[in-house]
Homo-oligomer: A and B are copies of this chain.
């Protein structure tokens, strides 16, 4: 039975009102950064942010652009890419509501090393690095949290490096799908849906392989009943079975 249902992924375009001032405060207060901060301080911080609405496919910034802003995802999904000279890319992360990216301070590199592109239409909050640096200066607790989050990201990057070097493609794809499921999964009748439009190319760029190989592995997983997938969507139907694939053959 090869009938592929239409994509169950929610592709509804973000409405303008989703970026309302109310949502802004809510998003900011949900951020690991700002949780626990007095409402007044939050209000002040909120004023420094501007909001930007984009359509899917648009670039927030490209590698090489001057790095002078920090971004927070209010609604939608953003993908962070790294380009190789040979044309092959790596998809570093898929960010969702509440996560930040870009430049935190003015101390770092002068230009972005990676590219940020909208995976779906989205609403972003943005602040000048300069302004955010002042906020960090005024609230040392926030800086400590930022350090902790960045430490985690370093560990994640190292983990992925290890996987690419030490594990076969099949296992890497299994890990990638599980991570996506954990982060972006939505419970459904058919299983755990990865709730973002995701092509074979995207998956390949996450697992460090080619779209053809990603397709092959996915086909095999599908015929084993571990995942269900179609055009631009993937659902994990058997999480345990997929976890087993991360260890052996």
Residues of chain A whose beta carbon lies under 8 Å from any beta carbon of chain B: 82-86, 88, 90, 92, 103-105, 107-109, 113-114, 133, 136-138, 140-141, 143-148, 150-155, 157-167, 208, 247
Contact = CB atoms under 8 A, between A and B. Distances in A.
Among all A-B residue pairs, the 9 with the closest Cβ atoms:
A84-B166, A157-B157, A143-B143, A107-B148, A165-B208, A150-B150, A88-B166, A108-B151, A137-B140
Contacts of A147: 104-105, 107-108, 136, 143, 146-147, 150
Contact of A82 (B88, B153, B158): B158
A160 B113 CA distance: 13
Contact of A164 (B108, B145, B153, B208): B208
| A108, A136, A138, A153, most chain B CB atoms within 10 A | A108
Contacts of A166: 84-86, 88, 90
A163 to B, nearest CB: 8
A67 B149 CA distance: 15
26 contacts: A82-B158, A82-B159, A84-B162, A84-B163, A85-B166, A85-B247, A86-B167, A88-B166, A90-B158, A90-B166, A104-B151, A107-B144, A114-B155, A133-B144, A136-B140, A136-B143, A136-B147, A140-B143, A147-B150, A150-B154, A153-B154, A154-B154, A161-B164, A164-B164, A164-B208, A165-B208
Given A164-B164, A166-B86, A105 B159 contact: no
Contacts of A151: 103-105, 108-109, 150
Contacts of A154: 150, 153-154, 157
Contacts of A85: 166, 247
Given A154-B157, A158-B82, A208-B164, A145 B107 contact: yes
Q: A interface, by DSSP: helix, strand, loop or mixed?
A: helix
B167 A84 contact: yes
A152 B109 contact: yes
A178 to B, nearest CB: 15
A161 B159 contact: no
Contacts of A88: 165-166
Given A84-B166, A84-B167, A140-B136, A155 B109 contact: yes
